[in-house]
Structures are given as structure tokens and as C-alpha cells.
Chains A and B, each alone.
Chain A
Amino acid sequence: MRKHAAIGLGLSAVLAVGCGGSTGEHPGGPVEAGLELGTGSWRFEAIDDGAELPLIRGAQGGWHVWLSFASTGMATATGLLEIETQVADESRSAKRTQVDVSFDPAGSDGRRKYVGWPEIFPDPGCFVGQLVRVDASFVDEEGTRVSDERYFTVLGGDDPPDGCVE
């Protein structure tokens, strides 16, 4: 793991968002374990209150939104990521995904990132304009679990899907 000068930044990020668990070892001392759910295909971008995320069309893969994740204080960079996506009013059934992931080496902000998960939406037209809740949790190789929950409104994007077909 790299040494970092900005441990404080990472710690404040943990305290500001996400749900921590135990604390992990860090060259600068123990840092509370935490996860922040964000967006971005190639770099982590925070999802703030009232955020709007566009649907992206994949030529073969339907429509998705980009999700990204930033962790702190975890013992390992690898582990299991669980994602649950649901319309905030729970009028549709939730979509759950489990995936083995390997976070990038910690950056200058002290956080490890897993960037560019394409969260595909079934019946994407039914999500346009809807407030969506995404719950994410990450369990590292030592069993430490951290999680985060974010809300955002889904936009149709540059190449929107057809309307909602029930």
C-alpha cells in the first residue's frame, strides 16, 4: 500500500458518507473502514443529494448508469461487491448484483477506487425520471463489511430508451 499525505482527507470522506465497520490498518495509522458510492466511467465522481445520472446506451448491453466506489480502511483491495438497485418508491422489484472486484491502489486521497461498473437497468424506459435508490456493500477478504446508499434521478441521456413498457 502506498504512503499518503492526505490521510485526513480520506478520513473526513469516510465520516461524511457511508457506513463504516471496523478499522483497517493504514501506513498513517488506523483509518475507519468505509465505502462511498459514486458514479463515473473512468474516474470517481460523488453522488450528491438531488443528483441526476443519465442512462448510457451500450450497443450490445442495453442501458446502464455508471457506478463507482471508493473505499477506505479495508484490509484488502479485493472482495465481494453487492449492489441493489430499486425505484425509491419500491414500485418495482429490486435488482441485485454480486461481483468479485479488485479496487485500484489507493490514490492521493487515501482511497481505493473501483471505477466504471455499468449497472444495467431492465426495462430502462420505466426508470427515466424516476428517483432511484442504490445500496452497495463491500466485504473484503477478512470479512469486513462496509456499505453506502445513494439516491439519484435517472435521466434518459443522449440516446434514451423507448417509453416504459409494462
Chain B
Amino acid sequence: MRIGMRTLLALVGCLGAAALSAPNVAQACGGFFCNSASPVNQQAERIVFAKGDDGKVTAIIEIKYAGPSNQFAWMLPVSGKPTVRVSSTAALDRLQAQTNPQYTLNTIVEGTCRDDLGFFGTGVPGSSDNARDGGTALEGDGSGVSVVDRGSVGPYDYVILAVDASETDKVGVAVEWLSSRGYDVNEFGSDRLKPYLDAGMNLLTFKLSKGFDSGAIRPVMLEFGSGLPAIPLRPTAVAATNDMGVLVWVLAETRAVPANYLSLELNEALINWFSPGLTYNAVVTRAANEAGGQGFVTEFAGDANAIDQAVFPDFLETQWATIKRTDWTNREGELLSTVIGAFGPNADGTRDVFAENLVPPDGISLDEFLSCVFCYLDYGTTDIQGFEPAKFLTDFDKNVAEPLKATQELLRAQAYVTRLYTTMSPDEMTKDPMFDFNADLPSISNVHTADRIIECSPEVDRSDASWRVKLANGQVVRGRGSQWPFAADDEGLPANERTVRLGTEGEGEVVDDNIRVIAAALSDHNAGVPSTASSAGGSGLCSTKPGSGERSAGLGFAGLLALGMFVAARRRRGR
């Protein structure tokens, strides 16, 4: 989508005993301790699709660029003449934060470790124990090109071109036309665009308007006609980096599925639950690669109510309405302070509005001023030279508040949101992913939880003790100390638990099922991690903390069940 830019994104050794004397499972952040949810950070190209009740699709597309502003150009093949508006990076940031995958490890201690006895503290976990955040043509001039639409929006000038079907070199004709009009698209002489132009599609091209620099670049909102949401990835390959993240939200009545890409179900044993942010992306990349480079992980699928306050919450809308109807005569310092206080200094368009309406104090750049308005402007300033409150409010409303509000309204209008993520390299961008809908599929939480049971005894510090982590699928990973036993590239474990092709109904078809392979590999590994819970704990081989009423035997039985699953022969497949 972004092209031509310089940088464009168990052996459970004592199962019997444990089953009978299993510890109470810690409540969330109760019991001994638990780790707060660790969100996963992702660097990715971000796209939002919203399919309205009328079937029409609106897309919000983030544009990333680093380079001279006069060389910025962004091109997208489109069908027909979409409506073009600007959106907000802040909107995407907030949407992402609201739906990020989170990995929560609840830690339970069996028995008593040496440091619990007063040598090294009183049960406060060492730092190594904690999971850390890783986690219709307007004109024709005989050039073979017709202008379908053109205009300016936010910091951009844009044009939508149709290339005459009789042209043999459609890409060349389009590039020549755009280049001669200040669009720096000389890098676009790629056959990547040819399939789209041959198919009769138009080209939507953006450049920065005069007076705007690359700091003004912000997402665009495009309203298309009806049809399935699609990402024209093939042109992206021109400037994409290896393993570029592609993060997609689809808003509609029901759950979205990758229509012609595989659905990837991650092997969570490969994720470092102590520091999920360190390995999550690598696991997704490996999973996608193992699926031929064309698959998406569904990171969240659920009620869109979860995001209905994510972008332009009600309180901000109310506050903004109050600001707009207030008389700010002789209260100009207070106005600027109030607006910055409400929206922050970094909301898209803020810098441009300030540049248009305000001259910073002598010797202070606009960026310096915006970074600390209160440092340079007294709250009680009555009159700022050349500043017109009414014009400022109108400009701010148009360039900052309205795009946020429009984005929020788009999110609120849909009942269901699905978030999908993958990474792709240029050589994998050979087929444009499309998204369809399946009401039969269940919701998917972005919050992943597992229990870690530390196997203590007075002979070992807690930070050195063995532990077992029970994953949501019942599989158990054993380890010791603060190290997760598997790296994301561990060849002994596949990155996908399953790959599935999902259709518009039913549960789809499993393409690759690695559940038994993973179970066998974990069994081999776990057998090599002996328990540090010793006889000193007083409960046989496994020292477990005595229950205090409520008894949970699930972990031990689950371990037995897990062992039962491991009898399956380990096998590897080749491609």
C-alpha cells in the first residue's frame, strides 16, 4: 500500500502428590503475587476497515514516511472515486492500545523457598521473577490520463487518475503525468502497479501541500463502495522491509476472517511469558513464514463496545463542546492552555493549527513551544498578538477534533471488531489479502493467561527454583529460574499450533495441525527439568504450600493428562 517512499514498517515429577496437595490458585493479583498484563508492542502498517450497514467500506490507512517532504508521494490503486478525508495517528494509537495482545502470568508458589525463610526478603519477587512489559473524469488532456478527482485534505494534495485502457504502458503514462505535476513518483516504474491498471483501476496519489513538512503526515480515511475489504499489498513490496508488520482492524456486524489467507493459531509455548514483548513478533513472523508467508493471527475478536471510548471519549467531546461555546475574549492564554490540556500537544493537526494561528515567542521554535506551552505562555495572558480565538477554534475543530470524532463515530457504528496481525516480506506480497465475515466463529480475547507454579524448597532460592507453566490449552512448560526455556526460533517447536482456512460459515478446514508435535516436544523437554521441590518441603518429592481451605487439584491432574497426550509419535513435516 505504501510505495515509493524512502522509508516507509513436564515431567511433573510428583504428579500424584501434587494432585492431592495442590495449592490454592492465586486470584488475579491476589494470593502471592501475579504479574500485571504485559501488552505486546508492535511496529506495523496499520489499517482499519469498517463495513457499514449499506455494505460500503471505509478504510483508515496510516502513512509512514521519513525523508524530505518534497519527495513524499503515496499511491494507492482504487476502484472508482473514493471520498478522501484525514484521520488521526492518535486514533490508531488508542485503538491499538485498547486491543493489544496481553500475556498475564499468575505466579503461585508451592512450598517455601530459602529466601522466603527470611534470608532474602519476605516473598517479594525478585526482578527476574516478574514478567515485564514486552509485553468520472474531470479532465483529459490527450496524455492518456484522465483526472477523476483532485483536491486538498489536511496536509495533502491528492489526485485520482484513470489511465486510458488503450495505453500499452499504463504505469509509464501515469508516472509521467504525475511527475510533471510535482508528484515525486519516479520510483514507481514498477510492474507491481501494472496488474491494477490493467484491471481498469484508478490511481490515488498524495503529495504534501506547499507549506507542510513531513511532520504533518497523518492517516487518511477513504470511503469506498461496497465489497470485501482488501489490501492491495503487491505495490507495497516495492518499498517494504523484511518482516514488515501489517496490523488490521475490521469493523462489521460479525467476526472477520482472512478470506484468502491462512488463519494462524500460535504455539504459545514459544512466547516468552516472562517478557512477551521480546519474542511475540518473532513468533508471529515464524508462524507466518511456516504458513508460506500468507497468514494472519486473529489477536482480538469481540464486541466493539470495547473500543467505543477509545478515540474520542464522551468526556472529551463534552469538554470540546464547552470550549467551543465559551467566550474567550481576553482569555487567550487560558484558551490555549485549555485546548492543549484537553487534546495534548501531539494530536494530528495540532502543530499545523498552531503554526497557522500563532507566532511563538522570539527565539523559540514552534516545536519547542508546543513541547511546553506552559513554559512560554502565561495562563493569564489576555491578548496574544495576531491571535484570533474564533479562527483558532474553527481551525482546530476542522483539523484536529473533527477527524478524531469522525474516526470514533466510525468505530461506534459497528457491532464487532476483529484485529488481525501478520508480518510479511516483499517476496511474500504476491497475493492481496481480502477479508470476509463468519458469524459462526467465537470471540477471541486479547488477554492470554497462564499459571506458573514455582516449586520451592528450603534448599533453593525462589529465583533458582524450578517451575511449571500451564498454558490455556492444557500444555505444560517446565523451566527453572528466570529463563524461558524456548527461543522464538527454536527448531524443535513449530510456531503454529494450527493453521486453518476459514470460510464464511462453520469452523473452517485445518491445513496443518501441530498439536501432537508440540505436545511431544514439550514432553521431551519437560522430562529434562527436575523439580526443585524436595523432601524438605514436607510433602514428599513435591513441596506444595498447604491449602487453606479451597483446594485446586487441577494442575496436577492436568499434568497427568498432558503426559497422556505426549505418547503421540513426534513427527516433522517437510515442505
Contact (Cβ within 8 A) B511 A42: no
User: CB-CB < 8 A to B261: which residues of A?
Assistant: 116
The listed residue with most B CB atoms (<10 A of its CB), out of A2, A66, A105, is: A105
Does B442 make an interface contact (CB < 8 A)?
Answer: no
Distance between Cα atoms of A76 and B574 in the complex (Å): 10
User: CB-CB < 8 A to B59: which residues of A?
Assistant: 59-60
Cβ contact of A102, chosen from B292, B508, B509, B574, cutoff 8 A: B292
Contact (Cβ within 8 A) A123 B200: yes
Does B227 make an interface contact (CB < 8 A)?
Answer: yes
User: CB-CB < 8 A to A133: which residues of B?
Assistant: none
User: CB-CB < 8 A to B294: which residues of A?
Assistant: 102
0/1 string, B496-517, CB within 8 A of A gives 1: 0000011100001101100000
Min Cβ gap B63→A in Å is 16
* With A95-B198, A107-B511 as contacts: A42 and B259 at CB distance below 8 Å: yes
Min Cβ gap A59→B in Å is 4
Distance between Cα atoms of A59 and B508 in the complex (Å): 24
Contact (Cβ within 8 A) A58 B228: yes
0/1 string, A36-53, CB within 8 A of B gives 1: 000001110000000000
Min Cβ gap A93→B in Å is 10
Does A29 make an interface contact (CB < 8 A)?
Answer: no
User: CB-CB < 8 A to B260: which residues of A?
Assistant: 41-42, 66, 115-118
* With A42-B508, A118-B260 as contacts: A105 and B573 at CB distance below 8 Å: yes
Distance between Cα atoms of A41 and B79 in the complex (Å): 21
Q: Which size bracket describes the interface of B in this complex?
A: 35 or more
Does B195 make an interface contact (CB < 8 A)?
Answer: yes
Contact (Cβ within 8 A) A104 B430: no
Binds A, one of B96-104, B125-133, B431-439: B431-439
Does A56 make an interface contact (CB < 8 A)?
Answer: yes
Does B77 make an interface contact (CB < 8 A)?
Answer: yes
Distance between Cα atoms of A121 and B219 in the complex (Å): 30
0/1 string, B40-83, CB within 8 A of A gives 1: 00000000010000011101000000000000000011110000
Cβ contact of A101, chosen from B198, B430, B501, cutoff 8 A: B430
0/1 string, B529-561, CB within 8 A of A gives 1: 000000000000000000000000000000000
0/1 string, A1-21, CB within 8 A of B gives 1: 110000000000000000000
- CB-contacts of B294-319 with A (<8 A): 294
Distance between Cα atoms of A73 and B57 in the complex (Å): 42
Cβ contact of B501, chosen from A2, A42, A56, A102, cutoff 8 A: A42
Min Cβ gap B568→A in Å is 14
Distance between Cα atoms of A97 and B196 in the complex (Å): 11
Closest A residue to B510 by beta carbon equals A107
User: CB-CB < 8 A to B230: which residues of A?
Assistant: 58-61, 118
Contact (Cβ within 8 A) A121 B199: yes
Does B445 make an interface contact (CB < 8 A)?
Answer: no
Contact (Cβ within 8 A) B502 A42: yes
Min Cβ gap B452→A in Å is 34
* With A43-B503, A59-B229, A122-B165 as contacts: A2 and B573 at CB distance below 8 Å: yes
Contact (Cβ within 8 A) A118 B195: no
Contact (Cβ within 8 A) B226 A159: yes
Distance between Cα atoms of A2 and B261 in the complex (Å): 21
Contact (Cβ within 8 A) A62 B201: yes
User: CB-CB < 8 A to B196: which residues of A?
Assistant: 61, 120
- CB-contacts of A102-159 with B (<8 A): 102-105, 107, 115-118, 120-124, 159
Distance between Cα atoms of A42 and B292 in the complex (Å): 15
Distance between Cα atoms of A59 and B227 in the complex (Å): 4
Min Cβ gap A162→B in Å is 11
Min Cβ gap A27→B in Å is 10
User: CB-CB < 8 A to B4: which residues of A?
Assistant: none
Min Cβ gap A105→B in Å is 6
Closest B residue to A123 by beta carbon equals B200
0/1 string, B278-298, CB within 8 A of A gives 1: 000000000000001110000
User: CB-CB < 8 A to A76: which residues of B?
Assistant: 575
Contact (Cβ within 8 A) A122 B200: yes
User: CB-CB < 8 A to A120: which residues of B?
Assistant: 195-196, 199
Does A26 make an interface contact (CB < 8 A)?
Answer: no
Contact (Cβ within 8 A) A116 B259: yes
Does B224 make an interface contact (CB < 8 A)?
Answer: yes
Closest B residue to A97 by beta carbon equals B195
Contact (Cβ within 8 A) A100 B427: yes
Min Cβ gap A165→B in Å is 9
* With A42-B508, A43-B503 as contacts: A99 and B430 at CB distance below 8 Å: yes
* With A1-B575, A116-B261 as contacts: A57 and B227 at CB distance below 8 Å: yes
| A-B CB contact pairs (8 Å), 22 listed | A1-B575, A41-B259, A41-B260, A41-B434, A42-B257, A42-B508, A42-B509, A59-B49, A59-B226, A59-B228, A60-B232, A61-B232, A62-B201, A77-B292, A97-B195, A102-B293, A116-B431, A118-B432, A120-B196, A120-B199, A122-B198, A124-B200
Q: Which 3 A-B pairs have the closest CB atoms?
A: A116-B260, A102-B292, A57-B227
15 more A-B residue pairs beyond the given contacts A59-B49, A59-B228, A104-B292, with a C-beta to C-beta distance below 8 A: A1-B573, A2-B573, A42-B502, A56-B227, A59-B56, A60-B232, A61-B201, A61-B230, A62-B201, A97-B195, A102-B293, A116-B261, A116-B434, A122-B165, A122-B199
